[in-house]
Structure 1
Amino acid sequence: MLDIRQIRKNPDEYKKRLGTRGVEPEKIDALLEKDKERRDLLVEAENLKKQRNDVSAEIAKAKRNKEDTTTQIEKMREVGTRIKALDEDLNRVETEEQDIASRLPNLPNPTVPVGLTEAESVELYKVGKPTEFDFEPKNHWDVGENLGILDFERAAKVSGARFVYYLGAGAKLERAVYNFMLDEHAKEGFTEVLPPYIVNASSMYGTSQFPKFKEDVYQVNGEDMTLIPTAEVPLTNYYRDEVIPTEKLPVYLTALTPCFRSEAGSAGRDTRGLIRMHQFNKVEMVKFTKPEDSYDELEKMTKCATNILDKLELPYHVVTLSSGDMSFSAAMTHDIEVWMPAQNKYREISSCSNCEDFQARRSHIQYRDENGKLQFVHTLNGSGLAVGRTVAAILENYQNEDGSVTIPEVLRPYMHGMEKITLEDNK
């Protein structure tokens, strides 16, 4: 949530910077109009309430003096009726203002590349050379299906498109990947969490999935409960409506969870393979920091994610997303994209974002500064990594001409010493 006080002070600046995210200036005008209407109603209501108190005092005095109070009582009745009407108007206007404000994305950091599409994003650096083969590399879904470790057809029979069964060494590989990730994040000071997988509407609102992205999730129990689209939701909401003791900051949390997404609007995109699933595992990182530390912490978080790819020896590059390509709640995002040989391009495997105080305002997460004044924390989140996409990258980059897949060395202890996945392993 943006700070309405700052928008009042700098409307043109907000129009300019939010315009780089595709927000029309009329939306800022509409918000400010509702804000003014709300404040005008509030002033009028407060003045009338003071007037009512004054009249009540007059009535009490008149009664003590045994004077006629008919006029004052009628006046107070009229004031009370007007106050009730004003309170109803105020509730309506506050709701309308809140609805407009809740649909405005975060203000991009001034250093973020300006643009409405990914074309304006800027590559920061590249690590490793694209994997080369003496044969035509196969897509990861063909590699996995040929080895008998991925079964999309039976998953479609049971659940529909964009689901998969992992089998045998495939299931072990997925488990090895996320256990490796969790162990690496623990070394960086993250506290491992096993959170709820179903959250309420307040939690979805707090991390900005609601109200704008309701069509992207799976809801249960009517409108109130939602299967998590990412562990960012339960992890960030852990401190909702709380004041975090200053000495605890920064707080680092990590969790492996399944994630559930309807993928609304993605018809025809990545219809095969593990890239865009309705259900997938992801290791998430979340941080709560003081404002002055958050951008240093963003760089550290990005390094935590790239550390996984470094140790898996997978080629990748890091990109700072353009203002229009970032997630709704982000002020700055570094995307990490891994090389996929069969597609001959880099594909996103992690997004690390600094949301500044945007989510903290919605979730009311605060701390006390050195003067004892309550301030909003900054929240950060990042994939560390998307597990299925990591498995896909391993299958493509470590495939062999005979159809087998070599296990990256760092994963072999998690695979009980297995060095290679062959068809024989899954017969």
Structure 2
Amino acid sequence: MIDIRFVRDNPEAVKASQRARGADESLVDTLLRADESRRSTLQLAEETRAEQKALSRTIGKASPDERQAILAQAQELSAKVKELEQVASDANGEYERVARSIDNIVIDGVPAGGEDDYEVLKHVGEVSSFDFPVRDHLDIAEGLEAIDMTRGTKVSGSRFYYLTGIGARLELAMLTAAADLAEANGFKLTITPTLVKPEVMAGTGFLGAHSDEIYHLPADDLYLVGTSEVALAGFHSDEIIDLSDGPKRYAGWSTCYRREAGSYGKDTRGIIRVHQFNKVEMFSYCTPDGAEEEHAKLLALEEEMLAKVELPYRVIDTAAGDLGSSAARKFDCEAWLPSQERWMEVTSTSNCTTFQARRLGIRERVNGQTQTVATLNGTLATTRWLVAILENHQQEDGSLYVPEGLRPYLGGREIISPL
């Protein structure tokens, strides 16, 4: 949720953010009117309640002749207070509804526009080239008996799979390497719940325009997370945390679930778009002033992990219209996908400023006063990385070159050969 004080003082900046996202800028004026209505109705209710209390205090001192009139007036004021409190409650409800419909304010410099309007910040590594016919990741994996899509579909339906043998080992190696990197940089490793309450899912901003991507269990009113960001954001909900020694950093290892609604016909082969996957996600709580510096740190760690698995990649600054509702800025790292000759997203890191923490009631104490903290997140490794690793490190004979950064986690193996 955006800071209403900022909106009052800087309405044009908020409108500019809405325009950059391709969102409705008239919502800003609607919000300001709702804010004025809730404040004025609440003030009137409080003034009337104070008048009622003051009148009630005179009953004991009134003469018998005056008492009945005062009691009648007090009862009348009491009924009026209840009526005004309901009006104030309705006004506050409308304010909350409008406030939650406005996405986070984008940071200056974020490209305006939609999905194709990103800015490429840099390229790292040489795009893979081969002197033999390139095979896609599923062909390679099936030769190594690393992925079984047929049985995944038989058991669970489309977009499900088994990682088997060296496929399972590769994923564990990659995720463990990511966990080690996170711990070495001050992140507390955490295995998180994968089911969360509605208020936590809503607090992180995932129940907006893309709520159809989320699995919901109506019988329990719980949601399956699509990232451990959700559980880690809820970890300190309704708390005052101590950031005097620097940011609080966590790395969440979890299974994640996405419905992939709207992706019919897209990436149907292999494990690029699947309903269930594993991920190590970084999550930071920091002061608002330190958020951009922390964002750069998360991106640097993502790049360090990509270097460990020796993938060519590029970094993009995502356009405002392609940001999630919580993100004020997002950097994606995209690895080269040889079989399709395109870039494929493998990491993203978002600066959510105070948007999530304001919804979730997460604050810090500064000079005796409390202020909302900032939250940030970033992918350090996920199942999709196997696609890029398999394709970029394939050998002509169907074997797989093992990147040096993964060898310690695979018993020192340098090559994985077909069975």
Same fold (TM over 0.5): yes
Decide which of 229, 233, 237 is 2:234's aligned counterpart: 237
Asked whether the equivalents of residues 182 and 251 of structure 2 are also in contact (C-alpha less than 8 Å), the reply is: yes
Kindly indicate whether residue 54 of structure 2 is the aligned counterpart of residue 45 of structure 1: no
Q: State the distance in 2 between where 1:249 and 1:236 align.
A: 17
Kindly indicate whether residue 4 of structure 2 is the aligned counterpart of residue 4 of structure 1: yes
Kindly indicate whether residue 401 of structure 2 is the aligned counterpart of residue 406 of structure 1: yes
Shift of 1:30: 2.2
- Could you list the per-position Cα deviations for residues 267-321 of structure 1 after superposition, in whole angstroms to 9, with x for gaps in the alignment? 2222222221110011100011112211111111101011011121110011111
Q: State the distance in 1 between where 2:78 and 2:6 align.
A: 34
* Match of residue 146 from structure 1: 143
Secondary structure at 1:226's aligned position in 2?
strand
Decide which of 379, 382, 385 is 1:383's aligned counterpart: 379
When residues 223 and 90 of structure 1 are mapped into structure 2, their CA distance, relative to the original with a 3 A threshold, is: farther
Kindly indicate whether residue 331 of structure 2 is the aligned counterpart of residue 339 of structure 1: no
Shift of 1:416: 1.8
Alignment of 1:23-422 (within 5 A): 23-62=23-62, 65-115=63-113, 117-222=114-219, 224-369=221-366, 371-385=367-381, 387-422=382-417
The range that moved more, 246-255 or 342-351, is 246-255
- Could you list the per-position Cα deviations for residues 49-71 of structure 1 after superposition, in whole angstroms to 9, with x for gaps in the alignment? 11101221232220xx4333222
Q: RMSD value over aligned CA atoms?
A: 1.5
For structure 2, the residue ranges without an aligned partner over 5 or more in a row are: none
Secondary structure at 1:352's aligned position in 2?
strand
Q: State the distance in 1 between where 2:237 and 2:151 align.
A: 41
Asked whether the equivalents of residues 208 and 325 of structure 2 are also in contact (C-alpha less than 8 Å), the reply is: no
Secondary structure at 2:408's aligned position in 1?
helix
Aligned residue type for 1:376:
T
Asked whether the equivalents of residues 104 and 326 of structure 2 are also in contact (C-alpha less than 8 Å), the reply is: yes
Shift of 1:235: 1.1
Secondary structure at 1:68's aligned position in 2?
helix
Asked whether the equivalents of residues 173 and 410 of structure 2 are also in contact (C-alpha less than 8 Å), the reply is: yes
For structure 1, the residue ranges without an aligned partner over 5 or more in a row are: none
Kindly indicate whether residue 418 of structure 2 is the aligned counterpart of residue 423 of structure 1: yes
Q: State the distance in 1 between where 2:25 and 2:166 align.
A: 54
The range that moved more, 245-254 or 333-342, is 245-254
Structure 1's consecutive aligned runs of 4 or more residues displaced over 4 angstroms after TM superposition are none
Aligned residue type for 2:28:
I
Secondary structure at 1:70's aligned position in 2?
helix
Q: State the distance in 2 between where 1:182 and 1:291 align.
A: 26
Aligned residue type for 1:272:
R
Percentage of matched positions with identical amino acids: 38
Aligned residue type for 2:389:
I
Secondary structure at 2:270's aligned position in 1?
coil
Q: State the distance in 1 between where 2:60 and 2:135 align.
A: 89
Shift of 1:375: 1.2
Asked whether the equivalents of residues 315 and 339 of structure 1 are also in contact (C-alpha less than 8 Å), the reply is: yes
What is the aligned length?
Answer: 419
- Could you list the per-position Cα deviations for residues 86-145 of structure 1 after superposition, in whole angstroms to 9, with x for gaps in the alignment? 222222222222122112110000121122x13221111111010010012111122212
Q: State the distance in 1 between where 2:25 and 2:292 align.
A: 28
Shift of 1:211: 4.6
Aligned residue type for 1:411:
L
Asked whether the equivalents of residues 103 and 212 of structure 1 are also in contact (C-alpha less than 8 Å), the reply is: no
TM-score by length of 2: 0.96
Secondary structure at 1:229's aligned position in 2?
coil
Asked whether the equivalents of residues 201 and 223 of structure 1 are also in contact (C-alpha less than 8 Å), the reply is: no
